């Protein structure tokens, strides 16, 4: 009789590792790690305080959201159906300039609840005051990768201040816990000078952390950059020394064949955000070509203001279908590959595949149970297709991170949902009422 | 004190009619009809046996699914990520040739439960043995429009048999109830001869019913038809006399500017199926151009085997985003228009806007309540955006058709869900086990 902390019995297991799909499986967790993952019939006897009945459920690795701005839940539904630049300049930036640290905390906490409720166990965030996002994630019990946003937009002082803040947060959090990881987050090539990007690369090397950037998202910005520098965005990243296996590039829509070769050669990782790309009409990234070239691609939702959801099950469906439509071929991105992108490939994109992304003994116990006893999931002829094409985030029944049960029977156990909804809503409405003031302050900031 | 049957108090009402959005509203239902829809403060006092507390909820018209094949839920997940013709020829047609009437009944009933649980109150179905679909819809309590599938595919006898069956079902159901309506369902121009289509038109005129067809779904089939007949599919429909306001055309992807003008001129109605179009890589319909030309466009899920979901909330999001991506403009298909397409425009497409599609006194009481007290829907800055971009079918709390409560607090009251899931699954697995036999029979049928 082996003594462990938690056992899940009788479920089908999508390991997303070498064992593939295990029917009638059992999972044992000890000290936050997976102690056993396999068939019940071959398993040793376990003794545990917590035993979860997994019958009628699929156990799979918690989903990995590679690109979001969690605190932007406060802006969900503000200024809809607008072009990206109008949306940013007239609404989002003026509002962001008025954000207080507490706003970010409650916005991120609201998003953490949404992520737990839809099966995400690890998210990669880029925003300001990321220590507030860390606080929210720690409280909610999620695993996260923080990228402090860095931007100069022609204002050297601004870049210096934000880089200093990013380095400070990196020093504070990097390597302290297995639950919070750090990258530096230079916003994009159109909002960061090459000089700033070089400094970011130097700091990232010193700190031994990765870099997370928006790359080739907007056709107009990409064209602008090409006309100013005479080179593509990917080329420019090479010039400042940022191309490499620890670069996480979100979007990557307006790129050439040559760019893809370069990205593959340097092992650059991509975060594919199909819903945001469609909603903002940014264009359709060539994910099939990136995958064919050997590039690792994870999935992201982007921020809740440009999606407007953090449901990675929804993102899986959009991810698959957008590529089929893009290439005019229903065979492109089959369901199983999409589940890989949402789990093990996402973990690879974040450099965390040694810890998470598959259910294999020795890895972290980040597990979700999906309830398949639902009319819209019956009959199940193909498990991967059921998860990608039929399941919704609301089918997730149980969420476990680091061996700790964050949600059970759809009840979140770590935070008071009603209270967080109330506070976040209050913060959002309060922020909007400060909007006219915000415009003035935004102008002031841009005059630094 | 006015005596009514049912009252919903304290909800926000999206009437989708002239009254627009009503805050703090009340809805009164009597004899299956809406007796009052308006502000609480202006409403008379009502007395009713059933009083539903609508606080924290949005009341809106039940969603209208303009194009599906409900019984195909049995095939959900069979042969995924395949090209349309391979999928049809190698899997679906052989399986369909083996379908028994009971299979269709249980497949449709499973789909009815899925539709109720995701807020659809009226669906337009095309399949074989539609009397079985009628039976399922009546039991579940849904409103439906039945189109018996008609096809000859070079076999005159087959066409004659199926047309006779369709006419028989039309005679049996047409005008008998306000819950079941009838159209004739010639499958498509590539599977029906012009002679058969002419006969369909004659029968439809005699019976005074509409016609429901797949139009210009596949690029290859559309090109084939053009090369055989030297004209577009839309032109050919004109030639056989089917262009008119009672023609419901599903898909309409491979059409020209001239076709659009012709469709608008004749008042043809369109069913837009974004998820299926993407999943099968059929192409992207020019919905914006159709709308600009004045064509009425409703939304459809298509069958659960090519989607693989009947969730119209998901379809609303795909509908909006696919058009934004198609036209490279985030302003295309704003959220409010998409909600119209899923409600009142859908009703128009089916010729039922006198009865359903909006919450206005005198219309049928087909109402859904959406629970907005959820983390992923907070804060609500824009109700239409919340419904299209953030809500999921699982947020529907209560469903009412004809004044009868089909679901309350997410509990379906009309059918035994567990039993239907069990029976449908059994039928599906049994059907698959008959597959090798099915191939033989399919061959026999094609040799008629």
Q: Is the pLDDT of residue B443 over 60?
A: no
Subunit contact B117:A279, Cβ cutoff 8 A: no
CA distance B119 to chain A (A): 13
Q: What distance in Å separates the CA atoms of residue B424 and residue A219, rounded to the nearest whole number?
A: 48
Is B110 an 8 Å CB contact of chain A? yes
Chain B contact set for A334 (CB, 8 A) = 80-81
Q: Are B270 and B298 contacting, i.e. CB atoms less than 8 angstroms apart?
A: yes
Q: How confident is the model at residue A178, as a pLDDT?
A: 94
Q: What is the DSSP letter of B361?
A: T
Q: What distance in Å separates the CA atoms of residue A392 and residue A377, rounded to the nearest whole number?
A: 10
The arithmetic mean of pLDDT across residues A270-284, rounded, is 97
- HSE toward the beta carbon, residue B419, CA cutoff 13 A: 4
pLDDT tens digits along A215-249: 999 999 999 999 999 999 999 999 999 999 999 99
pLDDT band at residue A86 using 50, 70 and 90 as cut-offs: confident
Chain A contact set for B281 (CB, 8 A) = 324-325, 327-330, 332
Whether residue B308 is preceded by a cis peptide bond, meaning omega within 30 degrees of 0, is yes
**Nearest to residue B186, comparing CAs of B152, B220, B158?**
B152
Is A218 an 8 Å CB contact of chain B? no
Is B114 an 8 Å CB contact of chain A? yes
Q: What is the ipTM of this complex?
A: 0.96
Please, what sign has the CA dihedral across residues B425, B426, B430, B433? positive
Chain A contact set for B429 (CB, 8 A) = 379
Sorted by sequence, the CB contacts under 8 Å of residue A407 that are 6+ apart come out as A116, A117, A396, A397, A398, A399, A413
Q: What distance in Å separates the CA atoms of residue A70 and residue A157, rounded to the nearest whole number?
A: 26
Kind and range of the H or E run holding A77: none
pLDDT tens digits along B157-209: 999 999 999 999 999 999 889 999 999 999 999 999 999 999 999 999 999 99
At A288, is the secondary structure helix, strand, or coil? Answer: helix
Q: What distance in Å separates the CA atoms of residue B325 and residue A327, rounded to the nearest whole number?
A: 14
The arithmetic mean of pLDDT across residues B415-434, rounded, is 94
Displacement of CA B135 from its chain's centroid (Å)? 17
pLDDT band at residue A448 using 50, 70 and 90 as cut-offs: very low
A100-104, A123-127, B442-446: the lowest-pLDDT one = B442-446
**Nearest to residue B393, comparing CAs of B302, B275, B339, B313?**
B313
Subunit contact A421:B83, Cβ cutoff 8 A: no
Kind and range of the H or E run holding A195: helix A194-207
Sorted by sequence, the CB contacts under 8 Å of residue A365 that are 6+ apart come out as A6, A27, A29, A32, A33, A34, A400, A401, A402, A403
Q: Are B228 and B194 contacting, i.e. CB atoms less than 8 angstroms apart?
A: no
Q: Is the pLDDT of residue A40 over 90?
A: yes
**Nearest to residue B287, comparing CAs of B221, B232, B334, B247?**
B334
Q: Is the pLDDT of residue B442 over 50?
A: no
Please, what sign has the CA dihedral across residues A316, A318, A319, A320? positive
CB nearest A390 (choices: B278, B309, B325): B309
CA distance B291 to chain A (A): 17
Subunit contact A331:B81, Cβ cutoff 8 A: yes
Phi, psi of A394 (to 5 degrees): -70, -5
Sorted by sequence, the CB contacts under 8 Å of residue A378 that are 6+ apart come out as A372, B73, B76, B110, B421, B424, B425
Q: How confident is the model at residue B13, as a pLDDT?
A: 98
Q: Is B196 exposed, middle or buried (0-12, 13-18, 19+ CB in 10 A)?
A: buried
Chain A contact set for B311 (CB, 8 A) = 376, 392
pLDDT tens digits along B266-282: 999 999 999 999 999 99
Q: What distance in Å separates the CA atoms of residue B274 and residue B342, rounded to the nearest whole number?
A: 13
Q: pTM of whole model > 0.90?
A: yes
Subunit contact A324:B278, Cβ cutoff 8 A: yes
CA distance A393 to chain B (A): 9
Q: What distance in Å separates the CA atoms of residue B156 and residue B161, rounded to the nearest whole number?
A: 9
Kind and range of the H or E run holding B56: none
Strands (E), A120-275: 120-127, 143-150, 180-186, 210-215, 247-251, 269-272
Q: How confident is the model at residue B441, as a pLDDT?
A: 45
DSSP string, B139-174: HHT-EEEEEEEE--TT-HHHHHHHHHHHHHHHHHHT
Is A97 an 8 Å CB contact of chain B? no
Q: Is the pLDDT of residue A442 over 80?
A: no
Q: What distance in Å separates the CA atoms of residue A235 and residue A253, rounded to the nearest whole number?
A: 15
Q: How confident is the model at residue B175, as a pLDDT?
A: 83
Mean pLDDT of chain B: 95
CA distance A277 to chain B (A): 8
CA angle A168, A174, A179 (to 5 degrees): 130
CB nearest B81 (choices: A330, A375, A380): A330
Q: Are B406 and B142 contacting, i.e. CB atoms less than 8 angstroms apart?
A: yes
CATH class of the domain defined by A2-61+361-410: mainly beta
Which A positions 275-314 lie with beta carbon below 8 A of chain B?
Answer: 275, 277-281, 283-284, 307-311, 314
| Residue in the block written with tokens 């936050």 | A32
CA distance B235 to chain A (A): 26
Q: How confident is the model at residue A156, as a pLDDT?
A: 95
Among all residues of chain A, which has the CA nearest to that of B372?
Answer: A421
Q: Is the pLDDT of residue A180 over 60?
A: yes
The residue among A79, A308, A391 with the most chain B CBs within 10 A of its CB, best to mutate, is A308
CA distance A168 to chain B (A): 31
Q: How confident is the model at residue A435, as a pLDDT?
A: 56
CA distance B384 to chain A (A): 9
Is B88 an 8 Å CB contact of chain A? no
Q: What distance in Å separates the CA atoms of residue B105 and residue B137, rounded to the nearest whole number?
A: 9
Q: Is the pLDDT of residue A441 over 50?
A: no
Q: Greatest CA span in chain A, whole angstroms?
A: 69
Domain ranges of chain B: 2-61+361-410, 70-349
Q: Are B244 and B266 contacting, i.e. CB atoms less than 8 angstroms apart?
A: yes
Copy the structure tokens of residue A360.
Answer: 């294999």
The residue among B56, B305, B316, B330 with the most chain A CBs within 10 A of its CB, best to mutate, is B330
Q: How confident is the model at residue B435, as a pLDDT?
A: 56
Q: What distance in Å separates the CA atoms of residue B424 and residue A21, rounded to the nearest whole number?
A: 24
Subunit contact A329:B379, Cβ cutoff 8 A: no
pLDDT band at residue A439 using 50, 70 and 90 as cut-offs: low
Which B positions 342-401 lie with beta carbon below 8 A of chain A?
Answer: 373, 375-376, 378-382, 384-386, 389-390, 392-394
Q: What is the DSSP letter of A356?
A: S
Kind and range of the H or E run holding A92: none
Whole-number percent of chain A with pLDDT over 90: 91
Q: Is the pLDDT of residue B448 over 50?
A: no
Subunit contact B379:A334, Cβ cutoff 8 A: no
The residue among A313, A323, A378 with the most chain B CBs within 10 A of its CB, best to mutate, is A378
Residues present in chain A in total: 448
Whole-number percent of chain A with pLDDT over 70: 97
The residue among A80, A108, A251, A303 with the most chain B CBs within 10 A of its CB, best to mutate, is A80
Q: Are B126 and B147 contacting, i.e. CB atoms less than 8 angstroms apart?
A: yes
Displacement of CA A232 from its chain's centroid (Å)? 26
Chain A contact set for B119 (CB, 8 A) = none
The arithmetic mean of pLDDT across residues A374-391, rounded, is 97
pLDDT tens digits along B335-391: 999 999 999 999 999 999 999 999 999 999 999 999 999 999 999 999 999 999 999
Q: What distance in Å separates the CA atoms of residue B374 and residue A393, rounded to the nearest whole number?
A: 13
Pick the CATH number of B70-349 from 3.10.20.30, 3.60.150.10, 3.20.20.70, 3.20.20.140: 3.20.20.140
CA distance B254 to chain A (A): 13
Q: What distance in Å separates the CA atoms of residue B123 and residue B212, rounded to the nearest whole number?
A: 13
Q: How confident is the model at residue B436, as a pLDDT?
A: 53
Phi, psi of B176 (to 5 degrees): -80, -35
Sorted by sequence, the CB contacts under 8 Å of residue B443 that are 6+ apart come out as none
| Residue in the block written with tokens 């690369």 | A201
The arithmetic mean of pLDDT across residues A388-417, rounded, is 98
Q: Are B232 and B226 contacting, i.e. CB atoms less than 8 angstroms apart?
A: yes
Chain B contact set for A386 (CB, 8 A) = 76-77, 308
The arithmetic mean of pLDDT across residues A48-64, rounded, is 97
The arithmetic mean of pLDDT across residues B77-94, rounded, is 86
Q: Is the pLDDT of residue A183 over 90?
A: yes
CB nearest B309 (choices: A275, A330, A389): A389
The arithmetic mean of pLDDT across residues A155-163, rounded, is 96
pLDDT band at residue A447 using 50, 70 and 90 as cut-offs: very low
The arithmetic mean of pLDDT across residues B21-35, rounded, is 97
A186-190, B75-79, B204-208, B236-240: the lowest-pLDDT one = B75-79
The residue among B81, B251, B274 with the most chain A CBs within 10 A of its CB, best to mutate, is B81
Q: How confident is the model at residue B445, as a pLDDT?
A: 45
At B3, is the secondary structure helix, strand, or coil? Answer: strand
Sorted by sequence, the CB contacts under 8 Å of residue B368 that are 6+ apart come out as B59, B60, B61, B62, B63, B119, B121, B396, B398, B399, B400
Among all residues of chain B, which has the CA nearest to that of A337?
Answer: B81
Q: Is the pLDDT of residue A368 over 90?
A: yes
DSSP string, B246-297: TEEEEE--S--HHHHHHHHHHT-EEEE-HHHHHHTT-----HHHHHHTT--E
pLDDT band at residue A436 using 50, 70 and 90 as cut-offs: low
Q: What distance in Å separates the CA atoms of residue B252 and residue B264, rounded to the nearest whole number?
A: 13
């Amino acid at each position: 009789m082996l003594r462990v902390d938690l056992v899940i019995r009788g479920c089908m297991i999508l390991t997303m590792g070498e064992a593939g799909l295990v029917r009638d499986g059992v999972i044992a967790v000890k000290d936050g790690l997976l102690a056993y993952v396999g068939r019940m019939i071959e398993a040793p006897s376990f003794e545990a305080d917590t035993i979860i009945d997994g019958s009628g459920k699929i156990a799979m690795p918690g989903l990995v959201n590679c690109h979001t701005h969690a605190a932007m839940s406060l802006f969900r539904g503000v200024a809809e159906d607008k072009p990206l630049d109008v949306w940013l300049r007239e609404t989002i930036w003026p509002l962001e300039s008025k954000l207080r640290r507490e706003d970010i905390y409650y916005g991120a906490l609201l998003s953490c609840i949404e992520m737990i409720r839809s099966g995400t166990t690890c998210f990669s965030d880029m925003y300001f005051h990321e220590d507030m996002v860390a606080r929210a994630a720690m409280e909610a019990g999620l695993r996260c990768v923080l990228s402090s946003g860095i931007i100069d937009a022609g204002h050297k002082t601004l870049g210096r201040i934000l880089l200093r803040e990013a380095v400070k947060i990196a020093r504070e959090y990097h390597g302290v816990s297995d639950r919070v990881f750090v990258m530096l987050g230079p916003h994009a090539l159109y909002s960061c000078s090459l000089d700033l990007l070089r400094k970011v690369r130097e700091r990232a090397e010193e700190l031994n952390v990765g870099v997370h950037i928006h790359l080739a998202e907007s056709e107009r910005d990409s064209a602008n950059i090409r006309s100013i520098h005479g080179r593509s965005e990917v080329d420019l990243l090479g010039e400042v020394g940022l191309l490499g296996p620890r670069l996480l590039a979100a979007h990557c829509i307006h790129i050439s064949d040559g760019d893809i070769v370069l990205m593959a050669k340097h092992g650059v990782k991509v975060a594919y955000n199909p819903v945001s790309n469609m909603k903002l009409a940014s264009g359709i990234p060539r994910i099939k070509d990136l995958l064919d070239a050997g590039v690792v691609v994870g999935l992201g939702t982007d921020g809740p203001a440009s999606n407007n959801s953090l449901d990675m099950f929804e993102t899986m469906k959009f991810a698959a279908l957008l590529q089929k439509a893009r290439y005019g071929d229903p065979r492109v991105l089959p369901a199983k590959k999409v589940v890989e992108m949402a789990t093990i490939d996402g973990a690879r994109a974040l450099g965390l595949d040694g810890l998470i992304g598959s259910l294999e003994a020795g890895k972290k116990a980040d597990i979700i149970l999906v309830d398949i006893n639902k009319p819209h999931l019956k009959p199940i002829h193909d498990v991967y297709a059921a998860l990608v094409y039929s399941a919704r985030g609301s089918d997730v029944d149980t969420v476990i991170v680091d061996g700790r049960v964050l949600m059970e029977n759809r009840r979140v156990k770590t935070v008071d949902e009603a209270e967080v909804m109330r506070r976040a809503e209050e913060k959002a409405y309060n922020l909007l009422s400060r909007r006219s003031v915000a415009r003035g302050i935004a102008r002031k900031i841009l005059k630094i």
